[in-house]
Amino acid sequence: MTKEPAVRILVVDDHFIVRMGLIALINTEPDLAVIGETDDGDQAIALFEKLKPDLVLMDLRMPRRSGTEATRHIRQMAPAARVLMLSAFDGDADIHAALEAGAHGYVLKSATGEDLIPAIRAVAAGKRWIPREVATRLKSRNAYEELTAREIDVLNQLARGLANKEIADELKISEYTTKDHLKSILAKLRVADRTQAVTAALSRGIIRL
């Protein structure tokens, strides 16, 4: 009986210890094999083109090019590519962005090997993998009205600690328009003040510090 070839995996994570741990874990499985690794989204794209792995295990947040951006580029380049997103962040905006970019699954870094290995096998086999806790966070997104790009710009300035006048100057809009955006942001995020707005936006992955 002919043995099935191992699933060929590219591991992408900007934390060296995490990346080495993932590689060691995956390589203990006889039906899985790591064929490449990198800490960078741009390099992930280059390695994907060179190695043509069966699956990319992709870190969500990395300097320069994020995992979401790298995933979108890879899927545009190779529509059949299989990507499993791995992240320490469970914000609904992060999850939504990853899946919208073309990831076929989303696994939290808090997951054990018993959770990760089945996820890798499932995604490599053409299935989707959304754990219950991830699905719950994604479902909660439906309860909120989506922020506009300009409202997110204002939120990013809020997170820097800028006052309304400073935000207006930074974004080249009027102070009245800034106040209008703030009112809309508070309503959409269902919070009472600026501090709560920033906290909620960070928690959900809408903005990053």
Q: Check if the beta carbon of residue 114 is closer than 8 Å to that of residue 88.
A: no
Q: Domain segments of the chain: what residues?
A: 7-141, 147-204
Q: 25-59 b/e with 16+ CB inside 10 Å = b?
A: bbeeeeebebebbbbbbebbbebbeeeebbbbbbb
pLDDT digits (tens, 9 = 90+) for 44-76: 999 999 999 999 999 998 888 999 999 999 999
In degrees, rounded to 5, the angle at the alpha carbon of residue 15 between the alpha carbons of residues 26 and 113 is 30
Q: Check if the beta carbon of residue 103 is closer than 8 Å to that of residue 128.
A: no
Question: What residues does 106 pair with on adjacent strands?
Answer: 85
pLDDT digits (tens, 9 = 90+) for 97-124: 999 999 999 999 887 777 899 999 999 9
pLDDT of residue 75: 97
Q: Which of the pair, 178 or 204, is modelled with greater confidence? A: 178
The class that CATH gives domain 147-204 is mainly alpha
pLDDT digits (tens, 9 = 90+) for 143-167: 788 899 999 999 999 999 999 999 9
What is the pLDDT of the chain when averaged over all its residues? 92
Q: What is the pTM of this model?
A: 0.79
pLDDT at 3 over 70: no
Q: Which CATH number fits domain 7-141: 3.90.1150.10, 3.30.565.10, 3.40.50.2000, 3.40.50.2300?
A: 3.40.50.2300
pLDDT at 78 over 90: yes
